[in-house]
Chain A
Amino acid sequence: MDFLRPASWEEALAAKAEYPTAVPIAGGTDIMVEINFDHRRPEYLLDLNRIALLREWEVGEEVTRVGASVPYTHIMENLRETLPGLALASHTVASPQIRNRGGVGGNLGCASPAGDSHPALLAAGAEVEVESVRGTRMIPIDEFYTGVKRNALAADELIKAVHVKNATGPQQYSKVGTRNAMVIAVCAFGLALHPETRTVRTGIGSAAPTPIRAKAAEEFLNAALEEGGFWDNGKVITPSIAKQFGELASGACNPIDDVRGTAKYRRHAVGIMARRQLVWTWEQYRGTNGRTLEGAA
């Protein structure tokens, strides 16, 4: 195994162009597990740790740009106001030590359906900034995940940053695991209200071959909110709307039975999380967030 250590972003792009099979490594929280377990022996590792610009973030007017290597700890601590869903998701990642190392770029690069940040990115709306010696392009998050552990990157491209829409309304994120910390997702769900467009977006993790949105649930809820004038009158969400939203989110899943959980449980749990999050976010939107726990992020 050869270890490539580019000193600059340009050198990294050149290296990736020259060795398209090279596997980028930043925090190493995913790839090192695979190497340690002998599941994977890449011919080349491309170490991105010398490239400072990947650890930078910038809060813009409408969008926050998060460098690929910005550790989850920084997202939790610094971006909670603008990207609350992603901050909550970041707090569910592994342990403090891992959160100090890992970042969203690795999650996107591995594109595991169990990656913690995906549902939050899908719900918020995001674009992935990728670059190669051929140039830069922006990949909408909805088009990014192409299969189990596959993404839309070309062999010579590297992930530079992710551009996430700043929250204009409440966002929530939950993950089910069989212990209370440091656990891989059995399934996860994220919800973001976008009052400026009067729409909602969702994200589901670990309950389909790729991270997905629960589009039927979104469409139902968009219509129901519009119809009932909820955005304007700020009424309490009716239990029947919440229930149907949960059921539709459940129906969006296409999970498998595996050692971490049954397909049946995953569908069930996604439905519960969706229903609860709708109540949490809507109560917050109504401004009655007095007793709503927002998580410890």
Chain B
Amino acid sequence: MANTRTTPSGTPTNVSQKHAQGGIGESTLRPDGTLKVTGEFAYSSDMWHEDMLWGQTLRSPVAHAEIAGIDISEALALPGVYSVLTYADLPAEMKNYGLEIQDTPVLANGRVRHHGEPVALVAADHPETARRAAAKIKVDYRELPVVTDEASALAPDAPLLHEGRDDHHAGHVPHPNIVHRQPIVRGNVEEARKRADVIVEGEYTFGMQDQAFLGPESGLAVPGEDGGVDLYVATQWLHSDLRQIAPVLGLPEEKVRMTLSGVGGAFGGREDISMQIHACLLALATNKPVKMVYNRFESFFGHVHRHPAKLYYEHGATKDGKLTHMKCRIVLDGGAYASASPAVVGNASSLSVGPYVVDDVDIEAVALYTNNPPCGAMRGFGAVQACFAYEAQMDRLAAKLGMDPVEFRQLNAMEQGTIMPTGQVVDSPAPVAELLRRVKARPLPPERQWETAGEGADVRALPGGLSNTTHGEGVVRGVGYAVGIKNVGFSEGFDDYSTARVRLEVIGGEAVAMVHTAMAEVGQGGVTVHAQIARTELGVTHVTIHPADTQVGSAGSTSASRQTYMTGGAVKNTCEAVREKVLEIGRRKNGSYHPAWATAELLLEGGKVVTDGGEVLADIAELLEGEEPIDLELEFRHRPTVAFDLVTGQGDGHVQYTFAAHRAVVEVDTELGLVKVVELACAQDVGKALNPLSVVGQIQGGTTQGLGVAVMEEIIVDPKTAKVRNPSFTDYLIPTILDTPSIPVDYLELADPNAPYGLRGLGEAPTLSSTPAVLAAIRAATGLELAKTPIRPEALTGTL
């Protein structure tokens, strides 16, 4: 797999410390890599405590019902059962939680609103006993009609999911079953439409994708002697959990001590609370450690999914290929509880134009409350659904104009200085046209290799793979392109800070740095990057990473492509302050021996204090010998943002934009409707690659997740009952290695002057453009319109 890296000249980054072994820019290896590959890594589900009990959740088998009664007596009577809890047992006045809106009951209060909602909890001395006890709880459900889509949510007699809403969106939404609505209006679409020579309208459907992380929700709650609780858990944001957990336990936050345990992937699915509160409640009720581990089936009910969406788009263009206007309406299904829906609405609306210059827009995005499974954060967060639709529109416009789809995109591509529909100016590099050029310039993989390969021909290269469904019959190649825009960091005025504590001391005659943050390492490689930053900024070799916990300030969420920017930025920021302390000590101790201490710019490199001219002034370890350790904890903030205006959608709402482009090459068995993605090339601007190996890994992972929702991944919800039909890896399919094509990566490093080291958050952007590129390639192969993703064989063969 060819990976190329390009640093255009004349784009300086703001690195002051230059030469560090194992510093930024090197592909240092992940400390957890070998352990994970060899199966030795301790995940949160591997924890064990003497005397511990096992917690089990009883979940609703129906999507919408009143609970007329719960009888726990048989469950309690089972030997080995220590506790059975229902809503009536909740200890505090606060009985709900939620990321932004506290609308989610810890346990159902007389009503369930979605399939799989938690109703009761059991703690027992064996997981099997806990399961059997949960099955003995008798719940009297009185089923209610289900709300499953926009029509049923907004019908005159629609049941309200949340009556008497008083959240901060309640006042401006047109209907109480709408969580949040964000319009964005700029220019004049009616006037601009008159200039259009061609108009393309489309209606698109995006299916419900699951994060499908491999380590199911799990954790261990240990009751403390002070009446508090220690919680070891796999999550994405310790402090956000803490803020939601403590009030429903009736405990002050300092009595809930959280430590991150081994996380087996997240992708947004661990932003919301799952078993955290339940395990703590059981531990406090029994005064024993309680472990909870969801199995795969329960995991599908234990976390939110990507919002399925209906997207209605109208674009116009002049005959010379300039976009005139865009009008769109994006309807996201938020399911039964709010989760991250309001922020997803903000993203979907503000990024709905894509990376294109369109001055006249009329945009509306809403998220619905329905009885479908709750939806919230997932890699790409609202921008994914929009990209799928606007990129299909771009291909249709180009076709209608008789233009090359890449050239048409390049003609309308945004660049530095472009104004977003929100009025925000894109004030750092936006190499959209260049990214497209790069993926297009790659040579295409050879065609029909199964005919030319002779003896080496392999059915695994064909659609259907090992299933031996074609030897070339019906197979047609298609090529498609897409490009996307994603924001980095939390937007719309959110105080999105991170905190890093750095301690520098001499141990055994060597200067050793310790980096302590609450950043959740979910596989993104933050622990690797933090050590690289500390080596670069402090010139030391030995860096230890303290376990992430709530004994240090918040690091914010491991999401929104933000952790390298934010907690990486926080580590850099604190290291700089620590460096100043080292230099202060140096000046105090040695200042009188050399004038450079006062006059030169000083750096820490290779364990020494050196001048910018390279003269060594002191050894860091010798300087710090006998001194108290330098130990600082500082917060770091990105530039402030503002909320989008609720009527016009105007406002500098985003921190940073990030761009990726893909070219997909597919081979489709047009008779059987089976797809083989042959190659999925990506070009992305990453600002600065702190760890090139991790950069390529992130891009390939995001690309593959986008491929998944193009050709197979979908949670299927029965529209009549709102019940999930495929909660298993037998029927919720994710790509295997045989479905994963070659993914050549070409990354640019165009510095963003506002960001630490000029870096650009990168984890999500490839997930955007991968899906529409694959769809475009399948459309090219089949000639079908394909307005829904994921595509199914039925859609390609007219057998729906």
Q: Which residue of B lies closest to A175 (CB)?
A: B467
Q: Which residue of B lies closest to A38 (CB)?
A: B131
Chain A 152-176 per-residue mask, 1 if CB under 8 angstroms from chain B, else 0? 0000000000000000000011111
How many Å lie between the Cα of A280 and that of B464 in the bound state?
16
How many Å lie between the Cα of A272 and that of B459 in the bound state?
17
Q: A261 interface residue, CB < 8 Å from B?
A: yes
Q: A66 interface residue, CB < 8 Å from B?
A: no
B792–A177 contact, CB under 8 A? Answer: no
Chain A 248-275 per-residue mask, 1 if CB under 8 angstroms from chain B, else 0? 0000000000011110110111001100
Interface residues in B720-760 by Cβ distance below 8 A to A read 725-726, 728, 730-731, 733, 735-739
- Shortest Cβ distance from residue A190 to the other chain B in the assembled complex, whole angstroms: 10
A180–B736 contact, CB under 8 A? Answer: yes
Q: B606 interface residue, CB < 8 Å from A?
A: no
Q: A186 interface residue, CB < 8 Å from B?
A: yes
How many Å lie between the Cα of A156 and that of B94 in the bound state?
58
- Shortest Cβ distance from residue A209 to the other chain B in the assembled complex, whole angstroms: 19
The contact of B450 among A174, A178, A293, by CB within 8 Å, is A293
- Shortest Cβ distance from residue B318 to the other chain A in the assembled complex, whole angstroms: 41
B460–A269 contact, CB under 8 A? Answer: no
How many Å lie between the Cα of A265 and that of B799 in the bound state?
5
B726–A259 contact, CB under 8 A? Answer: yes
Q: A92 interface residue, CB < 8 Å from B?
A: yes
Q: B23 interface residue, CB < 8 Å from A?
A: no
- Shortest Cβ distance from residue A177 to the other chain B in the assembled complex, whole angstroms: 6
Chain A 183-204 per-residue mask, 1 if CB under 8 angstroms from chain B, else 0? 1101000000000000000000
Q: Which residue of B lies closest to A293 (CB)?
A: B471
B738–A181 contact, CB under 8 A? Answer: yes
A180–B793 contact, CB under 8 A? Answer: no
B799–A174 contact, CB under 8 A? Answer: no
The contact of B468 among A95, A175, A183, A264, by CB within 8 Å, is A175
Q: Which of B115-123, B545-553, B669-677 participates in binding chain A?
A: B669-677
Interface residues in A34-55 by Cβ distance below 8 A to B read 36-38
A259–B731 contact, CB under 8 A? Answer: yes
B463–A180 contact, CB under 8 A? Answer: yes
Interface residues in A60-106 by Cβ distance below 8 A to B read 88, 91-92, 95
A264–B799 contact, CB under 8 A? Answer: yes
Q: Which residue of B lies closest to A267 (CB)?
A: B799
How many Å lie between the Cα of A139 and that of B408 in the bound state?
66
Interface size on A, residues (CB 8 A): 40
B728–A264 contact, CB under 8 A? Answer: no
Q: A236 interface residue, CB < 8 Å from B?
A: no
On whether A295 and B459 interact (CB within 8 A), knowing A175-B467, A176-B464, A259-B725, the answer reads yes
Contacts of B459 in A (CB 8 A): 293, 295-296
Q: A33 interface residue, CB < 8 Å from B?
A: yes
How many Å lie between the Cα of A291 and that of B797 in the bound state?
27
A180–B473 contact, CB under 8 A? Answer: no
A176–B731 contact, CB under 8 A? Answer: no
- Shortest Cβ distance from residue A169 to the other chain B in the assembled complex, whole angstroms: 18
Q: B576 interface residue, CB < 8 Å from A?
A: no
Q: A179 interface residue, CB < 8 Å from B?
A: yes
Q: A182 interface residue, CB < 8 Å from B?
A: yes
How many Å lie between the Cα of A36 and that of B460 in the bound state?
31
B800–A180 contact, CB under 8 A? Answer: no
On whether A180 and B460 interact (CB within 8 A), knowing A37-B297, A295-B466, the answer reads yes
A173–B672 contact, CB under 8 A? Answer: no
Contacts of B733 in A (CB 8 A): 178-179, 183
How many Å lie between the Cα of A186 and that of B797 in the bound state?
14
Contacts of A265 in B (CB 8 A): 673, 793-794, 797, 799-800
- Shortest Cβ distance from residue B428 to the other chain A in the assembled complex, whole angstroms: 39
- Shortest Cβ distance from residue B777 to the other chain A in the assembled complex, whole angstroms: 16
Interface size on B, residues (CB 8 A): 48
Q: A292 interface residue, CB < 8 Å from B?
A: yes
Query: Which of A175, A179, A186, A261 is the most central at the interface, judged by chain B CB atoms within 10 Å of its CB?
Result: A179
Q: B712 interface residue, CB < 8 Å from A?
A: yes
Q: A276 interface residue, CB < 8 Å from B?
A: yes
B739–A180 contact, CB under 8 A? Answer: yes
Interface residues in B770-800 by Cβ distance below 8 A to A read 792-794, 797, 799-800
Contacts of A88 in B (CB 8 A): 468
On whether A293 and B297 interact (CB within 8 A), knowing A178-B793, A259-B716, the answer reads no
Q: Which residue of A lies closest to B454 (CB)?
A: A291
- Shortest Cβ distance from residue A85 to the other chain B in the assembled complex, whole angstroms: 11
Chain B 664-682 per-residue mask, 1 if CB under 8 angstroms from chain A, else 0? 0000000111101000000
Q: B96 interface residue, CB < 8 Å from A?
A: no
Contacts of B797 in A (CB 8 A): 265, 268-269
A179–B131 contact, CB under 8 A? Answer: no
How many Å lie between the Cα of A52 and that of B295 in the bound state?
33
On whether A174 and B739 interact (CB within 8 A), knowing A179-B733, A268-B797, A268-B799, the answer reads no
On whether A296 and B739 interact (CB within 8 A), knowing A175-B469, A265-B794, the answer reads no
Q: B200 interface residue, CB < 8 Å from A?
A: no
A261–B463 contact, CB under 8 A? Answer: no
Q: Which residue of B lies closest to A184 (CB)?
A: B730
A272–B799 contact, CB under 8 A? Answer: no
Contacts of B800 in A (CB 8 A): 262, 264-265
How many Å lie between the Cα of A296 and that of B468 in the bound state?
8
Interface residues in B425-461 by Cβ distance below 8 A to A read 450-451, 457-460
Contacts of B464 in A (CB 8 A): 174, 176, 180
Q: B465 interface residue, CB < 8 Å from A?
A: yes
Contacts of B792 in A (CB 8 A): 178, 261
Chain B 460-493 per-residue mask, 1 if CB under 8 angstroms from chain A, else 0? 1011111111111110000000000000000000
Q: Which residue of A lies closest to B718 (CB)?
A: A259
B730–A33 contact, CB under 8 A? Answer: yes
How many Å lie between the Cα of A145 and that of B723 in the bound state?
32
Q: Which residue of B lies closest to A292 (CB)?
A: B471
How many Å lie between the Cα of A92 and that of B469 in the bound state?
11
Contacts of A293 in B (CB 8 A): 450, 457-459, 462, 468, 471-472
Q: Which residue of B lies closest to A180 (CB)?
A: B465
A182–B736 contact, CB under 8 A? Answer: yes
How many Å lie between the Cα of A183 and that of B730 in the bound state?
7
A179–B735 contact, CB under 8 A? Answer: yes
Contacts of B716 in A (CB 8 A): 259
On whether A269 and B672 interact (CB within 8 A), knowing A37-B297, A176-B464, A179-B712, the answer reads yes
Contacts of B466 in A (CB 8 A): 91-92, 180-181, 295-296
Q: Which residue of B lies closest to A260 (CB)?
A: B731
Contacts of A295 in B (CB 8 A): 459, 466, 468
A176–B794 contact, CB under 8 A? Answer: no
Contacts of B457 in A (CB 8 A): 293
A92–B794 contact, CB under 8 A? Answer: no
A174–B468 contact, CB under 8 A? Answer: yes
Contacts of B458 in A (CB 8 A): 293, 296
- Shortest Cβ distance from residue A105 to the other chain B in the assembled complex, whole angstroms: 21
A186–B465 contact, CB under 8 A? Answer: no
Contacts of A276 in B (CB 8 A): 469-471, 473
Contacts of B735 in A (CB 8 A): 179
Seed contacts A181-B465, A269-B672; 6 additional CB < 8 Å A-B pairs: A91-B468, A172-B468, A178-B674, A179-B736, A180-B463, A264-B794
Chain A to chain B: the 5 pairs with minimum beta-carbon distance, closest first: A180-B465, A265-B799, A295-B468, A181-B738, A175-B467
Sample 9 A-B pairs with CB under 8 A, ordered by A number: A33-B730, A37-B296, A172-B468, A174-B468, A180-B466, A259-B731, A261-B794, A273-B469, A293-B450
User: Which residues of B come within 8 Å of A, CB atoms?
Assistant: 131, 295-297, 450-451, 457-460, 462-474, 671-674, 676, 711-712, 716, 725-726, 728, 730-731, 733, 735-739, 792-794, 797, 799-800
